[in-house]
Structure 1
Amino acid sequence: MAYTIRPYQDSDAEALADLCRAAIRAIGPGAYSEEQVEAWLARHPGAHLYRERVGNGASIFIAAGEDDQPVAYALLEPDGHLDHLYNHPDHSRKGLALNLLATASLYAKHHGMTRLYTEASDLARPSFEQAGYVATEKREFEIDGVPIHNWAMEKTIT
């Protein structure tokens, strides 16, 4: 299957919400408990999140399949925070995460950003490392009383 990277369109919002939930449900248990996965899912309420984030200046980069439907995406905030990187489980391990991270880096460079940063799950950390991000600390925190962790990571844009 051929994939293209394209900008977000408002009509993508529902598909991104479904893609995100599918990724967390299917891939999350590879590194997190059922309780942690459910807490993580609760932080992703639906399509309005994407519309709101774009309205506040975020950029969303879409990896689309041959039918132009989103199969992976990255959400980059104006300050260089890469807040989301999700692949639909049927389209993982195809290099889409690395392509999206490369797109975000090019966008950042073009817009004068000097640093990208993220909080990566155990599952996403290898993709970020391949894209040149460095882990700065393991973050232990709670979501609705459920202990969970991720990795603070950053990348210098030159």
Structure 2
Amino acid sequence: MAYSIRPYQDSDAEELADVCRAAIRGIGPEAYSNDQVEAWLAQHPGAALYRERVANGATIFVAAGEDDEPVAYALLEPDGHLDHLYNHPAHTRKGLALNLLATASLYARHHGIKRLYTEASDLARPSFEEAGYIATEKREFEIDGVPIHNWAMEKTVD
């Protein structure tokens, strides 16, 4: 299957919410407990999130299949915070995460963003590292009383 990276369209919101939930449910258990996966899922309110974030200046890059259906995406905030990188489980290991991260880096370079940073899951960390991000700390925290962790990571944009 051929994939393309394209800008977000308002009609993508529901499908991006589905991609996010499918990724957390389908891939999350590879590194996190069931309680952690359920707590993580509870933090994602659905399609309205994408519309609100874009209205507040975020840029979303969408990896779409041949039918133009979103299968992965990255959400970049104006300050360089890469807040989401999700890939539908049926479309992993195809280079989409790296392509989305490369697109975000190019966008940052063209828009004067000098530093990209994120909080990566154990599952996303290898893709971020391959894209040039460096882990600065392991972040231990709780979501609704459930202990979980991720990695603070950053990259300088040249």
**Shared fold (TM-score, shorter chain, > 0.5):** yes
Q: Which residue of 1 aligns with 2:40?
A: 40
The aligned amino acid for 2:137 is E
Identity in percent? 86
Q: How does 1:87-102 map to 2 (within 5 A)?
A: 87-102=87-102
The aligned amino acid for 2:74 is A
Distance 1:52 1:15 in 2: 15
How big is the shift at 1:69? 0.5
Distance 1:121 1:78 in 2: 21
Helix, strand or coil: the match of 2:16? Answer: helix
Structure 1 spans left out of the alignment, 5+ residues: none
Q: What do you get for the CA RMSD once the two structures are aligned?
A: 0.3
Q: Which residue of 2 aligns with 1:113?
A: 113
After superposition, the C-alpha distances for 1:74-100 in whole angstroms (9 at most, x for unaligned) are: 000000000000000000000000000
Distance 1:18 1:126 in 2: 23
Normalising by structure 2, what TM-score?
1.00
Q: How does 1:1-150 map to 2 (within 5 A)?
A: 1-150=1-150
Distance 2:77 2:144 in 1: 24
How big is the shift at 1:155? 0.2
Helix, strand or coil: the match of 1:86? Answer: strand
After superposition, the C-alpha distances for 1:21-54 in whole angstroms (9 at most, x for unaligned) are: 0000000000000000000000001000000000
Aligned residue pair count: 158
Q: Give structure 1 regions of 4+ aligned residues with deviation exceeding 2 angstroms.
A: none
How big is the shift at 1:7? 0.1
The aligned amino acid for 1:14 is E
Structure 2 spans left out of the alignment, 5+ residues: none
The aligned amino acid for 2:35 is E
The aligned amino acid for 2:13 is A
